[in-house]
Amino acid sequence: MTFICAWAMRCFLFACVIVFSFSVSLYQMATKKYNFLLKFVIIGDSRVGKSSLLLRFVDDTFDPSFICTIGIDFKVRTIEIDGKKVKLQIWDIPGSERIMCLMPSYYRGSKGIIVVYDITNIKSFENSRVWLDNVKEKASEDVELMLLGNKCDEEDKQVSEEDGQQLAAEYGMKFMETSAKEAINVEKAFITLAEDVFAKMSMELQEASPEKSTEKTRKSGCFVL
C-alpha cells in the first residue's frame, strides 16, 4: 500500500511538472519581449536559503519568515548582456529526497544549475556532493554549474570558504559565498552565471552555420528573436 501511494505521488508530481512547464511556455510566447531565454535551476537541501536567494535577485527583498518551498516555483528577471535582452527563468526546486527521482524533468532544457548549501550547516555542505553527482548523472553535459555557500552573514560558520572553493574546484565550477539577508554577492552570482552561459552559447552559435544555429538554439531551451 505504501509503495502504491509513493508511486501515485511521483506520478502526480511528474504530471504537475509537465502541465506547469507547458503553461509557462504559453505565457512566455504571448509576452515575449527578449532576445534570449535561459532556464536556470536552483537545488540543494531544504532551509539553505534557495528561495530567499531567488527572491533577493528578482525582487530585491528578504522575508525572514519565508517558509520552505513545498511545490515547484519559478521567477523571471530580464537582464542585458552585450546589448541583448536576456530573460532568466529560474526554477526553485524543493530540497526533499523524494524529489530526486524527478530531477531529470527539472534539468531538461536548463543551461545553468546553482547548488546551494548553508555555511552554518555542515550536513547541507556534505549533501552538496549528492546534488552535484545527481547533476553529473542526469543533466546535460554542457550545463554551467555554480556553487553558493549561503548565509555568510552568520557568525556560527561550520563550513569555511576554503572548503567551498575546494569542492567547487573538484567539480570544475565557480564558487561564491552569499547572503540573501544582506544582499551579499547575490546579484553577482546570478549575473556571472548568466554571462558565462551567454558567452558559451554565443561561441557555439558563431561556430555553427545559420541553419544549424537556429535548430540547436530551439532544442536547447534558448530562444532567439
pLDDT of residue 219: 47
Which one, of 112, 81, 106, 80, lies nearest residue 93 by Cα? 106
Sign of the Cα torsion 19, 23, 29, 35 reads negative
- Domain ranges, ordered by start, for the chain: 34-220
pLDDT of residue 208: 74
- 53-62, 96-105, 111-120: range with lowest mean pLDDT: 96-105
Q: Looking at the predicted structure, is the pLDDT value of residue 193 above 60?
A: yes
Which CATH architecture best describes the domain 34-220? 3-Layer(aba) Sandwich (3.40)
Average pLDDT over residues 100-128: 94
Distance between start and end Cα atoms, the chain: 51
Distance CA 100, CA 95 (A): 9
Distance CA 42, CA 107 (A): 10
Distance CA 43, CA 194 (A): 17
The answer to whether the beta carbons of residues 90 and 186 sit under 8 Å apart is no
pLDDT of residue 3: 47
pLDDT of residue 101: 78
pLDDT tens-digit series, residues 13-71? 555 554 555 455 545 544 568 899 999 999 999 999 999 999 999 999 998 876 665 66
Distance CA 137, CA 92 (A): 20
pLDDT tens-digit series, residues 197-220? 999 988 887 877 555 545 555 445
pLDDT of residue 224: 43
